[in-house]
Amino acid sequence: MMDEEKYFIPAGPAEAELRVVNSRFIASLSPAFSVEEARNFHKNIRLRFPDATHHVPAFVIGHGRSVITHCSDDGEPSGTAGRPALAVLQGSGLGDVAVVVTRYFGGTKLGTGGLVKAYGDAVREVLKLVRRAVKIPTVTAGLEMPYPLYAHIERLVGISGGEILESQFLADVSLIVRFKEENWQPFVQQLQEMSNGKIEPLILERNPETVFPVD
């Protein structure tokens, strides 16, 4: 079981469209780390699709015991839109996530059951496209090395679970690398051994909540 610090969140935005009879349902999803971010996302979707019939929001901020949820039917019959959208979102296991299902009415009423299914299915479709991520502590650092060591250090970064964010090739090679906090000291130790203590990484940032994709 993942602890509270490592619950799943969306790695980025996603969008999916579903057609039911003659109506279009567009599900837009985004990471949201506060109620304000979720409400701004809803507002932006309204601006993006100003001629739509409904914009049904649902969000889950936080995770586990510390969670805020919200949904609205936005003019659809009570309980037919926001609740099913939120139920699917909560069932996904994601936290810090907002979704807005935009509906363009096609002239044919779907009935209560049809609406519940359509709004739930729209959220299911967009969730299929979402990459998951976790918020974890990371270390970002700068390295400078002579060219003969570059290939060896590049390989060491990879096998140590790090990633190269930037590289520059001048008189020497300069890299900016990022590691999970737990992998940082083992990497530094191996780097010291490989370079006979000649390469000293410069820590540029420690971030306790970096969004790190896991799939």
List domains and CATH numbers for the chain: 4-130 (3.30.230.30), 134-213 (3.30.70.240)
For 141, the token pair is: 């650092």
The sheet carrying 54-63 orders its strands as 14-20, 23-31, 97-104, 54-63, 66-71
Q: Considering only CA atoms, which of 105, 97, 102, 133 is closest in space to residue 27?
A: 102
pTM score, whole prediction = 0.76
Give the pLDDT confidence of 88-140 residue by residue, as tens digits.
999 999 999 999 999 999 988 999 999 999 999 999 999 999 999 988 899 99
Q: Is the pLDDT of residue 1 over 50?
A: no
CA dihedral of 49, 26, 38, 8, whole degrees rounded to 10:
-150
Give the pLDDT confidence of 174-193 residue by residue, as tens digits.
999 999 999 999 999 999 99
In this prediction, residue 6 has a pLDDT band, given cuts at 50, 70 and 90, of low
State which H helix or E strand residue 198 sits in.
Answer: none
Q: Which residues pair with 138 in a beta bridge?
A: 180, 207
Give the pLDDT confidence of 53-81 residue by residue, as tens digits.
999 999 999 987 789 999 999 999 999 99
